[in-house]
């Protein structure tokens, strides 16, 4: 039933406008980029971006699959009534001014009007589907295609996330700003995405969950099929009251949330950056068992890595033929990395590698990068690269990343991501 939201053949946009830098023109221009049949509706204009414009959705003769509503909140329900009469198959209400603004009554009325028609929002940015180039939102652009689905209670975070991802080599399948969840809720999207062929990983930003019981049930099932990674804000007392003002969410007790996530097999992270890095890592890798090998050309990096791993209860099994972390020393050429990496990848209790390289006299970053790529393909175990530096490692980083190996300069973050990638039997 969500198919009409993500794959509509015809779309009516009610509240279209030509005025620059408004939601009305933003969405209108975004929609025109898709190859769908688009109808603009605006009570005042005759033409918008040179296209015929309708006074009401009811004036459109063809069938309409998806209606997008971005009109002042006072008239949303009137417009929604017309959408129901038109028998649209899905509705996205962008407009704010509902429960998040203490107007629960208006939100209930909206639900009543639409009955069984799937509803995204209100108070949201909209949705994006990279597969069919559909940007039914006011996000500034469509991100690269990829296998990460992103669900967010905050529209602003979606904008930032796609901007951060712009120069990265991972991409998104579908993005949903779900707003107040008057109709469809987080669990409905999870259920839909679990069957979505384009989606391998699901990343979520939330401030609160409406129906905890439903979430626990659905997420438990979905997490067995696809990794779910969540960033939950509104954890502290101050954060909770900020969340209430922002999306009207009852953020609740963070310990209860964490235990629900754990029970449901959902991975909880604690920053936007971690959310993206972890999603990216799952986008490129399969989960692995507990046991990591560390190769480094700087002893200090090894000490730091082991500290972080130990604190997160990740095993660092002794290498049969040497130490772990294995310090190949500052004068190591790439071949020394290769020998140690291969010995580690062959060992049964090492399921994942962290390969750290700082810039030292003999360092060969690009060669090392190619060895990482080669050995990852040969052994199939996940490898996380950590080239610790800047300019000098740009080429090496681009080599591994092009081959779907994640580079994380910050060792602490690399370790955390490996922790998230690890599952227990």
Report the C-alpha gap between 225 and 201 in whole angstroms. Answer: 9
Helix, strand and coil percent figures for the chain, each rounded to 5: 40, 20, 40
Indicate the residue among 174 and 235 with the shorter CB distance to a second copy. 235
Tell me the closest approach of the beta carbon of residue 388 to a second copy, in angstroms. 4
Owner of token pair 């009137």: 78
Report the C-alpha gap between 174 and 352 in whole angstroms. Answer: 29
Residue 348: exposed, middle, or buried by beta-carbon count in 10 A (0-12, 13-18, 19+)? Answer: exposed
Indicate the residue among 153 and 187 with the shorter CB distance to a second copy. 153
Tell me the closest approach of the beta carbon of residue 241 to a second copy, in angstroms. 8
Report the C-alpha gap between 48 and 305 in whole angstroms. Answer: 57
Binding site for a second copy (CB under 8 A): 21-23, 26, 138, 140, 152-157, 159-160, 163-167, 205, 207, 233-239, 242-243, 245-247, 270-273, 297-304, 306-307, 309-311, 316, 323, 325, 327, 330, 358-362, 388-393, 409-412
Q: What is the CA radius of gyration of the chain?
A: 24
Indicate the residue among 221 and 313 with the shorter CB distance to a second copy. 313
Tell me the closest approach of the beta carbon of residue 10 to a second copy, in angstroms. 25
Tell me the closest approach of the beta carbon of residue 2 to a second copy, in angstroms. 24
Beta bridge partners of 137: 126
Indicate the residue among 246 and 374 with the shorter CB distance to a second copy. 246
Tell me the closest approach of the beta carbon of residue 425 to a second copy, in angstroms. 22
* CB contact at 8 A, 148 and 201: yes
Containing H/E element for 400? helix 394-402
* CB contact at 8 A, 139 and 158: yes
Tell me the closest approach of the beta carbon of residue 166 to a second copy, in angstroms. 5
* CB contact at 8 A, 399 and 374: no
């Amino acid at each position: 039933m969500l198919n009409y939201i993500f794959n509509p053949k015809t779309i009516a946009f009610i509240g279209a406008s030509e005025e620059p830098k408004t939601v009305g023109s933003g969405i209108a221009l975004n929609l025109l980029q898709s190859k769908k049949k688009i109808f603009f509706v605006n009570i005042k204009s005759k033409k918008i971006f040179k296209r015929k414009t309708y006074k009401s959705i009811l004036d459109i003769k063809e069938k309409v699959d998806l209606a997008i509503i971005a009109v002042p909140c006072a008239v949303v329900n009137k417009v929604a009534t017309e959408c129901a009469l038109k028998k649209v198959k899905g509705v996205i209400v962008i407009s704010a001014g509902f429960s998040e603004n203490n107007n629960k009554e208006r939100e209930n009325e909206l639900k009543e009007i639409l009955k069984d028609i799937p509803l995204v929002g209100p108070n949201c940015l909209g949705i994006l589907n990279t597969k069919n180039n559909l940007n039914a939102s006011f996000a500034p652009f469509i991100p690269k295609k990829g296998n990460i689905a992103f669900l967010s209670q905050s529209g602003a975070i979606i904008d930032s996330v796609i901007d951060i991802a712009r120069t990265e080599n991972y991409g998104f399948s579908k993005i949903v700003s779900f707003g107040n969840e008057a109709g469809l809720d987080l669990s409905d999207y999870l259920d839909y995405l679990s069957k979505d062929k384009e989606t391998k990983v699901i990343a979520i930003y939330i401030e609160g969950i409406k129906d905890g019981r439903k979430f626990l049930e659905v997420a438990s099932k979905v997490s067995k099929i696809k990794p779910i990674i969540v960033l939950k804000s509104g954890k502290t007392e101050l954060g909770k009251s900020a969340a209430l003002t922002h999306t009207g969410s009852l953020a609740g007790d963070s310990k209860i949330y964490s235990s629900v996530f754990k029970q449901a097999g959902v991975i909880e992270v604690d920053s936007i950056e971690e959310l993206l890095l972890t999603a990216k890592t799952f986008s490129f890798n399969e989960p692995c068992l507990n046991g990591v090998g560390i190769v480094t050309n700087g002893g200090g990096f090894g000490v730091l890595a082991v500290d972080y791993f130990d604190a997160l209860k990740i095993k660092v099994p002794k290498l049969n033929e040497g130490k772990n972390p294995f310090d190949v020393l500052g004068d190591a050429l790439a071949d020394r990395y290769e020998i140690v990496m291969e010995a580690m990848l062959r060992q049964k209790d090492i399921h994942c590698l962290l390969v750290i390289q700082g810039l030292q006299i003999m360092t060969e970053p690009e060669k090392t990068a190619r060895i990482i790529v080669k050995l990852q393909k040969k052994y199939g175990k996940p490898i996380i690269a950590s080239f610790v530096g800047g300019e000098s490692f740009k080429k090496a980083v681009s080599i591994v990343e092009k081959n779907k190996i994640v580079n994380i300069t910050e060792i602490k973050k690399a370790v955390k991501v490996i922790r998230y990638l690890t599952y227990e039997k």
